[in-house]
Structure 1
Amino acid sequence: MLALGSLSAPVAQEQDAPVQVQVDASQVQAIYANFSRVTGTTEEVIIDFGLNTQPQGVPREPIRLDARMVFNFYTAKRLLAALQVTIQRHEQAFGPIEVDVRKRLLKPT
């Protein structure tokens, strides 16, 4: 598991040492999202999450957004790195993830 934190340790600290951060997940709420929208300002990255109930083609109905996460750019960059490592590990174990649905369709035999 990869965890992101606000690491404000001095630069001289050894970078390779794993950091253990205690987390209280007793109030966490899980949501499922198959849609995200990334926007931002000069100081923040904003990611909205929602459920697209019409995943094929252009949705006829508006996609309802369920959650919004706002990050400063430092935390967003750490999140990007953690997601990259997570995807790489998954692809090493299970093969490439094709995001273009047209390339995932089975050809008729």
Structure 2
Amino acid sequence: MSAKKDEKSAEATTEAAAEQAQAPAQQQQQVKVNDDNVAASYANFCRVSSTPEELILDLGLNPQPLDPANTEINVGQRIILNHYTAKRLLSALSMALQRHEQAFGVLETDIRKRVVQKS
């Protein structure tokens, strides 16, 4: 009986050790964000360009979204990311937009389809 008891005890110890080894991998890291000095701004225009090392987002305000061809857009922010961070951003934005659309409906990105035409 002692051998069976020792065997069960060893199995329980092995299972507990395996669970403890997996626990750190399953826990998400908590990141503290200090936004005391953040400057919020609005953008309705985004241009994306890239180099082999970086992805560049230019954000600005388009004062004439219905006639973008004849409008000068002032870029207010330029965000430069490495491609790994850009991919994480893509995933986070995609998940946020999916949740929004599930709650409020599909977002139409063509402004001409959203604007009511008056005769």
What's the TM-score, normalizing by structure 2?
Answer: 0.72
> RMSD over aligned Cα, in angstroms?
2.0
Instruction: Name the structure 1 match of 2:105.
Output: 95
Deviations 1:67-102 (A, max 9, x none): 000000000000000000000000011010011123
Structure 2: gaps spanning 5 or more residues: 1-21
Question: Greater CA deviation, 47-56 or 98-107?
Answer: 98-107
State the secondary structure of the residue aligned to 2:75: strand
Distance 2:71 2:109 in 1: 23
State the secondary structure of the residue aligned to 2:31: coil
Q: 2:40 aligns with which of 26, 30, 36?
A: 30
Instruction: Name the structure 2 match of 1:70.
Output: 80
Instruction: Name the structure 1 match of 2:96.
Output: 86
What code does the residue aligned with 1:30 have? Answer: A
What's the TM-score, normalizing by structure 1?
Answer: 0.79
Deviations 1:41-87 (A, max 9, x none): 00000000000001112343310000000000000000000000000
Which stretches of structure 1, 4 residues or longer, exceed 3 Å deviation after superposition? Answer: 12-16, 105-108
Larger radius of gyration: 2
What code does the residue aligned with 1:50 have? Answer: G
Displacement, 1:104? 2.4
Q: Which has the higher helix share?
A: 2
Structure 1: gaps spanning 5 or more residues: 1-11
How has the CA–CA distance of structure 1 residues 44 and 93 changed in structure 2, closer, same or farther, with 3 Å as cutoff? same
Q: Does 2:54 align with 1:54?
A: no
Q: Work out which structure has the larger RCO, using CA pairs closer than 8 Å and 6 or more positions apart in sequence.
A: 1
What code does the residue aligned with 1:22 have? Answer: K
How has the CA–CA distance of structure 1 residues 88 and 57 changed in structure 2, closer, same or farther, with 3 Å as cutoff? same
How has the CA–CA distance of structure 1 residues 98 and 60 changed in structure 2, closer, same or farther, with 3 Å as cutoff? same
Instruction: Name the structure 2 match of 1:3.
Output: none
